[in-house]
Amino acid sequence: MSINALLQRLPGGHALTDAKDKLLSKAVVAKISKELQPYGSLVDFKLNTVDKSVFASLLLNGEQSPVEIRVSKYELIQKEERLFLEVDGKSIETSREWLTRLLQDKMGRRSLSVPEELAWIVLQMLA
């Protein structure tokens, strides 16, 4: 049984799930902020492990206002003993019409490898 399923069954499970999502979001923010630094900054990040959705707001260099990105659905996939976070471009919407259209038309399905040392915890926390 995943942590999400367990938390949802407990009294106050929704609040516990929200707290877990906020904790995971902080960890992701630290990683993304470091990777994004040459291109801009991460303004906001929200992860919803129940809906399997993500929201990010990025202030990119040269932009006047943040670019908002919403992924309405992600999947965790295990292939050959590795864990991948899979996103379909059609599940992405942004605050820039041209960018949404580009992603939905051209991105297709993309798999992002989860580092081996984090795979177990990610599987338990996000599944």
pLDDT (0 to 100) of residue 111: 87
**pLDDT on residue 101:** 96
Among 109, 110, 108, 90, CA closest to 100: 90
Q: At 118, list the tokens.
A: 């984090």
**52 belongs to a structural domain:** yes
**Looking at the 3D structure of the chain, how many domains does it have?**
1
Q: Give the pTM.
A: 0.75
In a domain, 43, yes or no: yes
At 19 the pLDDT is 77
pLDDT at residue 37 above 60? yes
pLDDT tier at 66, thresholds 50, 70, 90: very high
If one compares 95 and 24, the residue with the highest pLDDT of the two is 95
8 located within any domain: yes
| Domain containing residue 49 | 3-73+92-107
Asked whether residue 62 is domain-assigned, the answer is: yes
The per-residue pLDDT for range 76-116, each reduced to its tens digit, is 888 887 888 889 999 999 999 999 999 999 999 988 877 77
Instruction: Indicate whether 118 belongs to any domain.
Output: no
Would you say residue 126 lies in a domain? no
Q: Could you tell me if 30 and 39 are in contact, meaning their C-beta atoms sit under 8 angstroms apart? A: no
* Residue 123, in any domain of the structure: no
What's the DSSP call for residue 86? E
Identify whether 101 is part of a domain.
Answer: yes
Q: Which residue in 56, 59, 71, 77 sits closest to 127, CA to CA?
A: 77
Residue 72 has a pLDDT of 94
Neighbours of 110 (CB within 10 A): 13
Please check the confidence at residue 13 and state whether its pLDDT lies above 90. Answer: no
pLDDT band at 2 (very low <50, low <70, confident <90, very high): low
DSSP string of 27-74, one letter each residue? HHHHHHHHHHTTTEEEEEEEEETTTTEEEEEEEETT-SSPEEEEES-E
